[in-house]
């Protein structure tokens, strides 16, 4: 019985989320089959898990009384490195993302440049920061420089993609108006394109600053400097009270960044 006849008898049933019945059932069957196979292939060492539970409890307990002081020097050094990496990489990344973003916008760039810039964006976005960090650590040695270059590289992909999308949807009438005055390419960019994308560019840069800080906390694991190295050491030494302190500091800084960036975004728009 279909919905209409049921409704005529006073039994209302809401429409299904996926309208085609065969697609709905195929998706459900596929999902069940996949889950069965996937869960079947997971190997879990339950003895090890049970053994680790006490350690898990220790970790939760450590959050109740984090230890900020006993490794104070290491934490401050790591944080300072992370923050400097975050700032410099965002500035450099955004500066490099602007030309790439202009080149990756289909409406203002010629084909060869468009393809080149799009491939830069794809490569930068596909690989996780940490993989890129491994390569840059090999090239530039351990330390924050490798981390900074990694983050700048990742920033280019992220910002350029969003900037290009923004330029692709801009109001073309303004560009035409400026062009009609006989403006050169640079003048068109400066007076017709830039004012339209600037507020969003500033907002995105703030957002990326926040992401870069979060990422700077992990690339230290592979030797690219920052608070991640300190965190990694503290976890592998089972000093959970110090790790809890570092995690709380990271959460606090991310919150501050988010609060600040929402203010800046409100101010630019």
User: Nearest to residue 163, comparing CAs of 184, 185, 193, 124?
Assistant: 193
Closest alpha carbon to 101 in 178, 197, 192, 203: 197
CB atoms within 10 A of CB 237: 11
With b for 16 or more beta-carbon neighbours within 10 A and e for fewer, the 36-73 pattern comes to eeeeeeeeeeeeeeeeeeeeeeebeebeeebbeeebee
**By CB under 8 A, what part of segment 247-266 binds another protein?**
247, 250-251, 254-255
In angstroms, rounded to a whole number, what is the distance separating the alpha carbons of residues 137 and 145? 9
Q: Is 96 in the site for another protein (CB under 8 A)?
A: no
Which of residues 80, 168, 195, 263 is near another protein by CB under 8 A? 80
Distance from C-alpha of 190 to C-alpha of 178, rounded to nearest angstrom? 10
Residue written as tokens 């790591």? 78
Candidate segments 1-9, 80-88, 168-176, 182-190, binder of another protein by CB under 8 A: 80-88
Span near another protein by CB under 8 A; candidates 110-118, 133-141, 152-160, 179-187: 133-141
Paired tokens of 7: 């409704």
Binding track over 188-217 against another protein, x by CB under 8 A:
--------------------------xx-x
Which residue among 68, 74, 91, 116 contacts another protein (CB under 8 A)? 91
Q: Give the interface with another protein as residue ranges (CB under 8 A).
A: 14, 17, 34-35, 38-39, 41-45, 48-49, 51-53, 55-56, 59, 80-81, 83-85, 87-88, 91, 122, 126-128, 130-131, 134-135, 138-145, 148, 214-215, 217-218, 221-222, 225, 228, 231-232, 235-236, 238, 243, 247, 250-251, 254-255
């Amino acid at each position: 019985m279909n919905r209409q006849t049921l409704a005529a008898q006073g039994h209302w049933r809401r429409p299904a989320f996926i309208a085609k019945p065969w697609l709905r059932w195929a998706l459900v069957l596929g999902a069940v089959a996949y889950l069965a196979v996937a869960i079947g292939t997971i190997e879990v060492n339950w003895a090890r898990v049970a053994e680790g539970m006490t350690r898990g409890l220790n970790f939760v307990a450590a959050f109740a009384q984090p230890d900020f002081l006993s490794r104070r020097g290491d934490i401050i050094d790591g944080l300072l490195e992370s923050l400097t990496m975050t700032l410099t990489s965002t500035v450099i990344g955004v500066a490099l993302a602007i030309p790439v973003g202009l080149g990756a916008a289909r409406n203002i760039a010629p084909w060869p440049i468009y393809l080149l810039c799009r491939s830069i964006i794809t490569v930068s976005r596909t690989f996780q920061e940490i993989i890129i960090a491994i390569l840059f650590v090999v090239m530039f040695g351990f330390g924050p420089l490798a981390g900074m270059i990694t983050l700048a590289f990742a920033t280019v992909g992220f910002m350029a993609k969003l900037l290009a999308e923004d330029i692709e949807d801009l109001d073309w009438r303004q560009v035409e108006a400026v062009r009609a005055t006989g403006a050169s390419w640079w003048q068109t960019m400066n007076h017709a394109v830039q004012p339209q994308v600037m507020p969003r560019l500033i907002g995105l840069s703030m957002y990326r600053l926040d992401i870069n800080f979060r990422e700077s906390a992990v690339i230290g694991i592979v030797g690219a400097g920052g608070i991640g190295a300190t965190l990694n050491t503290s976890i592998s030494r089972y000093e959970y009270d110090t790790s809890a302190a570092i995690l709380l500091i990271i959460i606090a800084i991310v919150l501050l960044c988010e609060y600040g960036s929402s203010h800046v975004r409100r101010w630019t728009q």
